[in-house]
Chains A and B, each alone.
Chain A
Amino acid sequence: MTPWHGETIEALRGALARGSTTSERITEACLERIAALNPALNAFVTVTADAALQAARAADDARREGRIASALHGIPISLKDLIDQAGLRTTAGSRVRADVVAHADAPVTARLKAAGAVLVGKTNLHEFAFGPTSEESGFGAAHHPVDPERSPGGSSGGSAIAVRTGMSIASIGTDTGGSIRIPAALCGVVGFKPEWGDVPADGVVPLSRQLDHVGPLARTVTDAWLVYESLCGRLPAPAATLTAPSLKGVRLGVLRGYFEDRLDAEVADRHAAALDTLRRAGAVLEPVELSHAATMAAVYLPLVLGDAAAYHADTLERRPEDYTPGVRARLEMGRALLAEDYVRALHGREVIAREIERALDGRQALVSATTPVPAPRLGEPTVAVRGGSEPTRNALLRLTQPFNLGRQPAITMPSGETQDALPVGLQLVAACGRTQPLLELALACERALAG
């Protein structure tokens, strides 16, 4: 029997069109994967098996009548449990919201339903999306699909696990400092953070509204594009395809300095090999340094801390014990910020955004590793990098958060594995307004890296 849960949207829509399978069978396969793997990996907070099967049968009925909503018609997709789906609780991975039921669909949820997607459940995450490891969750830590002793990354950890293991064919995550790209890279799937504002974040529990982005995790670049199009409210035609350009003469800015100085040795090796592959495919690689790179974390921190503190202050006063200890401590830290430092960070964000855009002038994309280290062990507060040690949280966010400040579209794709079979990701970033060319370029890179 074909393991439908392990296929791409591209493959499944073809099989569905040919009548080789049904949405019901694909959905059953995903639900079986959830039943088999979720007890160990803890990727889902809520599974909507009955509703999903009902939606799948309805999708099959519509297909038989010739009504095919889009390329996602009948495809099982999961939602990070930060996103509202009417009638289901939105826990944000926190006991604080254990019983908070959404009365309406978030716009992205409604758009997926309009595209014909089958929603199979809500995925686990770092509590309130406030961390990159998914270990501080009110519903227990999520576990890496290759090595359960390790973190899948976060905050959209459950989404990355679901896609990697076939519990859902794609998933919707959010990204405030890297929360789509980090778990996607650590779990070996594709993660796409759209340009800020492209995809509505209404009906999504905020971490920092000025840095929050909603986007897809999927098995391939084309799948991520199909889901992204749906999230934007543009129903992709059932046979819609992305076209890969030639890489010959394409100018890519390779981020140096801050972005390369402190990479794990195996990550550095895989990254260098990926760049070499792109060079051999004809890309022109140009070194780029961002002069304000070393200040980026110092700009990011006051913004996210201040915004999160404003959202949580009242609840922290009333129900502090319902937060996980680490998230509570970081939120309390945010309450100590001075307004003057928040304003300096607001100014810094604009400076950094302009600097990134200047670095992209005349270049198709900037390139870096997605994370400086592979999946860290759960519970380890620091990771070893190049003979030194760095807080795990800082290390995981280091290469992705600049593009939340800059608000550029950014995508990660698998670029290899360590000797322990832990995935390594390659990050591509394009200028604002250049999303479609970025995704086309990413498809070309994905093909080159696949050999």
Chain B
Amino acid sequence: MTDIDRWLAAAEADVEARGLQAVKPLLQGLAGALRVLRAADWNDRADGASPPPADVERLR
């Protein structure tokens, strides 16, 4: 799984290289949504582990 912080850094670097500064704050908002999504209780894990209970408000 790509870590959200690493994904965000790569995505921000990409839009910056393409001169799309306006997209950066949107990506930061999307990162918050993806943290919530990844912490959702329906996600299966290959090793059988359960995702930890999510604190959705904190993850936003």
B-contacting residues of A (Cβ < 8 Å)?
Answer: 292, 294-295, 297-299, 301-302, 305, 325, 329-330, 332-333, 336-338, 340-341, 344-345, 347-348, 351, 391
Contacts and interface: CB of A to CB of B under 8 A. Distances in A.
A344 B40 contact: yes
Given A325-B22, A333-B27, A340-B1, A297 B33 contact: yes
A260 to B, nearest CB: 16
Contacts of A344: 37-38, 40, 43
Contacts of A294: 36, 56-57
Contact of A345 (B22, B23, B37, B56): B37
B49 interface: no
A338 B2 contact: yes
A295 B23 CA distance: 23
B26 A329 contact: yes
Nearest to A340: B1
A341 B38 contact: yes
A378 B45 CA distance: 45
Nearest to A351: B42
11 contacts: A292-B40, A294-B57, A295-B37, A302-B33, A325-B22, A332-B20, A336-B11, A336-B14, A337-B30, A338-B2, A351-B42
Contacts of A301: 30, 33
Contacts of B37: 295, 298-299, 302, 341, 344-345, 348
> B-side binding surface: helix, strand, loop or mixed?
helix
Contacts of B40: 292, 295, 298-299, 344, 348, 351
Given A332-B15, A332-B20, A344-B43, A298 B27 contact: no
Contact of B20 (A305, A329, A347, A348): A329
A188 B37 CA distance: 34
Contact of B27 (A292, A336, A338, A345): A336
Interface residues of B, number: 23
A189 to B, nearest CB: 31
Contacts of B36: 294-295, 298
A332 B42 contact: no
Nearest to A300: B33
Contacts of B11: 336
Given A336-B7, A344-B43, 9 more contacts: A295-B37, A298-B36, A332-B15, A332-B20, A336-B30, A338-B7, A344-B38, A348-B40, A391-B29
Nearest to B30: A333
Interface in B1-37: 1-2, 7, 11, 14-15, 20, 22-23, 26-27, 29-30, 33-34, 36-37
Contacts of B38: 341, 344
B2 A347 contact: no
Contact of A336 (B15, B56, B57): B15
A435 B29 CA distance: 36
Contacts of B43: 344, 347
Contacts of A329: 20, 22-23, 26
Contacts of A332: 15, 20, 23
A7 to B, nearest CB: 44
A299 B2 CA distance: 18
A325 B32 CA distance: 22
Nearest to A296: B36
A294 B35 CA distance: 12
A118 B42 CA distance: 48
Which 5 pairs across A and B sit closest by C-beta, in order of nearness? A298-B36, A336-B11, A298-B33, A294-B56, A298-B37
A391 B27 CA distance: 14
A308 B7 CA distance: 20
Contacts of B1: 340
Q: Which among B7, B20, B40 has the highest number of chain A CB atoms within 10 Å?
A: B40
Nearest to A341: B34
A221 to B, nearest CB: 35
A333 B42 contact: no
A333 B7 contact: no
Contact of A348 (B15, B22, B26, B42): B42
Contacts of A292: 40
A294 B27 CA distance: 20
A340 B15 contact: no
Contacts of A338: 2, 7
A298 B60 CA distance: 9
Contacts of B42: 347-348, 351
A80 to B, nearest CB: 26
B23 A340 contact: no
A302 B2 CA distance: 16
B26 A333 contact: yes
A305 B38 CA distance: 17
Q: Which among B20, B38, B42 has the highest number of chain A CB atoms within 10 Å?
A: B42
